[in-house]
Amino acid sequence: MFDEYRSGDEPESSEDKKTTWWLGRWAHVLTIPVWFILFVAFNDRPWGPYVSVGAAYTVLVFCLALGNAFKDLDDVLGNPHALACIAKLMIPHLFALALVAWGVYEWLNLSRTLPVWVTHEGRKGSVWYWCGMLPLGGAGYWEGFWMAGKLRKHCAVAEG
C-alpha cells in the first residue's frame, strides 16, 4: 500500500546515518590499555612517557574518527577513497602529535618546579596530573570529532 511512496530519491533518515559500529563509543576504553601497556613496558626509558602518551592519543583520535565517520569496517576497507582520506588526515595528526609531545615535555619539566601541594599525589592523583590529563583528553576528543567530520564530508563527495 505504501510502496508507491518509497523511492530512491528519499533523503536518508537519521537512523540510517547512525553508526552501529562500537569503535567510536568505546574509544576511551581502548586507549587506557594501550597507554598502560606502553607505559609499563617503557617506564625505564627517557622517551617512555612520550611514546605511551603519543600512542594512546593516536588510538583515541583514530578510534573516534573512524567510529563516528563510518557505519562499519566495510565502509572503511571497501572504499579505496576512504583509505586515501584517512592517509591525508595523518599530516594534521602528526602536527597535533608533535604539540602533544611538546606538552608532555613541558608538563614533566614543570612538575619539578611546582610547589608540593600541586604535585602531591593522593588516591585520585595530583592536581598537576589532572591539569595535564584533562586538556589532553579534550584535545583528543576534539581532534577525533574534527577528523570524523572531514572524513564524512570528503568520503560523501567522492561517493556522490
Q: Is 131 exposed, middle or buried (0-12, 13-18, 19+ CB in 10 A)?
A: middle
Contact 21, 73 (CB under 8 A): yes
CA nearest to 35, candidates 98, 100, 95, 90: 100
- Run of H or E including 79: none
pLDDT in tens, 45-76: 999 989 999 999 999 998 888 888 777 776 77
pLDDT in tens, 115-150: 888 777 777 777 888 888 889 989 999 998 998 888
pTM: 0.76
